[in-house]
């Protein structure tokens, strides 16, 4: 069912039941073909990569782990202002050390003119909180290893997002540009401070989604006769790797040709590894870390092995930090209702009160 336009006096969609049935059948057929393509392609790609695939030797992982993740609220909009909250939380799962506290939490609530607000601005604010928590964590304690949500190629990723935002005709991008410059381009700025620590403290960035295409595109360039389906991304390693196998390590910069010059410069000493936990239906985990910790690779991967949850596709400390950040975000909607009630009830000027009533009643925000 591609599309259909028709007249009717009925207020249901029973007239298109045959089209829906046909659409479902076609979707199943496409999925079956996609699965067959994967099944055919896996042995070829595995053979190409065989020199870089290894079985993890079982040993003990690290005992004292920290994981950092962040979250944002649903933004509350009206024609004039938009309010939102962001947070970041570090969860300290220590076994042989006594942590200063169990959690390190950081929150921010902000209101921006609606013409300047975008989800990208809010998400960058969230990432900023995560970086701040990372710096504070390592200033006060020293975990055996810290797991950061997302990719270490943060500057390159956000550079692309800021460029896309500039094309949006409905949003003034000055706020996003200013925040991006403050975090990534300022000398001795937040991101630069994070990068300075990456070689001194054992830290691994772990993206939730392994959907990058740079690795697959590089393989295409090196094997022109290889027929790789267009929809394949790095998630294919979840199928290629067998339980408890890992691929790599590879120099991270080799696979990031579309990033910025500054990002590539700072990523020259970063390595990446794909590891499939010892469970048949587990997804491959991607890790990004500094070359100083290559000698620790087996123990880092064993930490992933010990902490991985098949039900949630994450390691336990990172899952705890993620869930906590999601559930502890400020209720911006409730705060806005309190602002609305207080503003209207305490308004003594009739003209101001009318503005307040209009301000809070627009149904399109």
Q: Is the pLDDT of residue 44 over 50?
A: yes
pTM: 0.86
Higher per-residue confidence, 13 vs 328: 328
Kindly give the pairing relationship between strand 81-93 and strand 76-77: antiparallel
pLDDT band at 365 (very low <50, low <70, confident <90, very high): very low
Phi-psi region of 32 (alpha: psi -120 to 50; beta: other; left: phi over 0): alpha
pLDDT at 16: 66
**Cα–Cα distance between 326 and 52 in angstroms, integer?**
37
Mean pLDDT for 185-211 is: 88
Q: Is the pLDDT of residue 14 over 90?
A: no
Domain definitions of the chain by residue range: 14-48, 65-327, 331-365
Q: Is the pLDDT of residue 227 over 70?
A: yes
170, 192, 179: which is closest to 124 by C-alpha? 179
Q: Which of 46-50, 98-102, 139-143, 252-256 has the lowest mean pLDDT?
A: 252-256
| Mean pLDDT for the chain overall | 85
Q: Does domain 65-327 have CATH number 1.10.150?
A: no
Mean pLDDT for 160-185 is: 79
Segment 62-113, tens digit of pLDDT: 999 999 999 999 998 877 889 999 999 999 999 998 888 899 999 999 999 8
């Amino acid at each position: 069912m591609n599309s259909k336009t028709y007249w009717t006096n009925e207020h249901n969609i029973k007239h298109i039941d045959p089209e829906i049935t046909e659409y479902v059948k076609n979707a199943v057929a496409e999925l079956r073909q996609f699965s067959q393509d994967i099944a055919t392609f896996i042995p070829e790609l595995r053979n190409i990569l065989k020199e870089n695939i290894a079985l993890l030797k079982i040993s003990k992982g690290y005992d004292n782990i920290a994981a950092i993740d962040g979250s944002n609220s649903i933004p509350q909009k009206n024609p004039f202002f938009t309010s939102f909250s962001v947070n970041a939380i570090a969860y300290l799962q220590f076994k042989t050390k006594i942590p200063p506290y169990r959690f390190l939490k950081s929150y921010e609530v902000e209101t921006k003119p609606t013409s300047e607000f975008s989800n990208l601005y809010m998400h960058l604010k969230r990432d900023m909180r995560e970086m701040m928590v990372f710096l504070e964590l390592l200033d006060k304690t020293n975990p055996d290893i810290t797991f950061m949500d997302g990719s270490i190629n943060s500057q390159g990723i956000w550079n692309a997002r800021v460029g896309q935002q500039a094309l949006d005709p409905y949003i003034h991008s000055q706020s996003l540009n200013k925040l991006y410059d403050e975090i990534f381009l300022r000398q001795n700025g937040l991101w630069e401070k994070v990068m300075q620590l990456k070689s001194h403290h054992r830290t691994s960035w772990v993206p939730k989604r392994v959907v990058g295409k740079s690795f697959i595109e590089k393989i295409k360039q090196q094997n022109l006769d290889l027929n790789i389906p267009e929809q394949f991304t790095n998630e294919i390693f979840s199928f290629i790797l067998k339980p408890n196998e890992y691929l790599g390590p590879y120099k991270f910069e080799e696979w990031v040709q579309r990033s910025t010059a500054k990002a590539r410069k700072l990523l020259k000493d970063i390595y990446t590894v794909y590891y499939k936990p010892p469970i048949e239906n587990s997804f491959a985990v991607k890790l990004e870390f500094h070359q100083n910790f290559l000698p620790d690779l087996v123990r880092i991967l064993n930490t992933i092995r010990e902490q991985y949850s098949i039900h949630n596709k994450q390691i336990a400390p990172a899952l705890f930090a993620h869930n906590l950040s999601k559930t502890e975000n400020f209720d911006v909607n409730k705060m806005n209702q309190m602002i609305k009630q207080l503003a209207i009830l305490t308004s003594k000027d009739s003209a101001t009160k009318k503005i307040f009533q209009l301000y809070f009643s627009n149904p399109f925000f």
